[in-house]
Structure 1
Amino acid sequence: MNRIDYIKEINGWEDEFQFYYRVKVRFSDTDMFRHLNNTVPFSYFEEARIEYFKSLGFMQDWVKPDSKTIPVVANLQCDFLKQVYYDEKLKIYVKAESVGNSSADLHYMGKREDGDICFVGRGTIVQISSRTGKGVPWTDEMRKLFMEQKAIRA
């Protein structure tokens, strides 16, 4: 894992994850070489991120018709460690690594049922105004929920 700059020490980093979302690799997720297409983990990250935000209670507010804020992905990356194949069952883990004023650095980990880590990733999510497109600070309640989630990991 030395080549992945956002992971300093894999064991401690891995132990910090609490939330995960289950996926099963569909045939359409694979490519002509019979392994997971390199674009698919980003969809898995999206699904897991949405469920993670639902678990914190954020998504329910963002999708309301009168919501003044929305989350946007500012950047996203994935590092592939092992091959993944059709019909495998994976857990896609998500955690907030750090929380800024209106942004959060989320980390992701895809693991097989046997515990092997197949891919990892990270990305910055920013809460913005749905009208102006400018960053909107997290509320005190949102920040508290992020911090409680981090405290569970400690």
Structure 2
Amino acid sequence: MPFIHRERVRFGDLDAMRHLNNVVFLRYFETARIAYLRVLAPEHDPSHPEADTFGLIFAECHITYRSPVYFDEEVAVACEVGEVRRSAFRVDFTMRVDDRVAAEGYGWLVGFDYEAQTSARLPETLRDRLEQEAAQREAGQD
């Protein structure tokens, strides 16, 4: 089962056409991703940085908009781990309002060494956990 984060569309999230602003889709995806990582890898919670220099940087995002979202609708954002690499991993998103797909996409997170200012290998424990999540997702799709 994917991780699900819910948001209620606020009036201030709308654009001039009275539907959810494109930028807010990204904000909802970001909020869902952070909530997901807090559960999956609490030691990498961005609100509680570790004493060491390792962190995760959101390096890339792709969004495909499928349908408009309106004021006061409840949005459910599903997050799942996709591909896992040596120093990066992909988080896949699907945003729904009831049964309607509003948007889907993905983002890449990269391990980062803040002291050296360069990408860094994912810690083994984190990579193992991510690979396990990705394998469970694959098993569920069979």
Tell me whether the two structures share a fold, i.e. TM-score over 0.5.
yes
Q: Give me the whole-angstrom Cα distance separating, in 2, the residues matched to 1:41 and 1:61.
A: 20
Q: Which amino acid aligns with 1:26?
A: R
Equivalent position to 2:86, from 93, 101, 122 = 101
Q: Deviations over 1:52-83 (max 9, x none)?
A: 11111243388335131111121112110011
Can you give the 5+ residue segments of structure 2 that lack an aligned partner in the other structure?
A: none
Give the structure 2 partner of residue 88 of structure 1.
73
- 2:22 alignment partner, SS class: coil
Kindly report the root-mean-square deviation, in angstroms, between the aligned alpha carbons of the 2 structures. Answer: 1.7
Say whether 1:51 aligns with 2:42: no
- 1:39 alignment partner, SS class: helix
Q: Give me the whole-angstrom Cα distance separating, in 2, the residues matched to 1:43 and 1:116.
A: 19
Larger CA deviation: 44-53 vs 140-149: 140-149
- 2:7 alignment partner, SS class: strand
Q: Give me the whole-angstrom Cα distance separating, in 2, the residues matched to 1:108 and 1:61.
A: 19
Give the structure 1 partner of residue 5 of structure 2.
21
Q: Give me the whole-angstrom Cα distance separating, in 1, the residues matched to 2:133 and 2:99.
A: 22
- Change over 3 Å in CA distance of 1:72–1:61 after alignment to 2: closer
- 2:67 alignment partner, SS class: coil
Give the structure 1 partner of residue 51 of structure 2.
66
Q: Which amino acid aligns with 2:87?
A: S
Aligned length: 137
Q: Deviations over 1:92-120 (max 9, x none)?
A: 111121011111122111011x2211101
Give the structure 1 partner of residue 18 of structure 2.
34
- Change over 3 Å in CA distance of 1:111–1:55 after alignment to 2: same
Question: What TM-score does the superposition give when structure 1 sets the normalisation length?
Answer: 0.82
Equivalent position to 2:109, from 122, 125, 133 = 125
Q: Deviations over 1:8-66 (max 9, x none)?
A: xxxxxxxxx61111111111110111100011111011101111111112433883351
Q: Which amino acid aligns with 2:67?
A: K
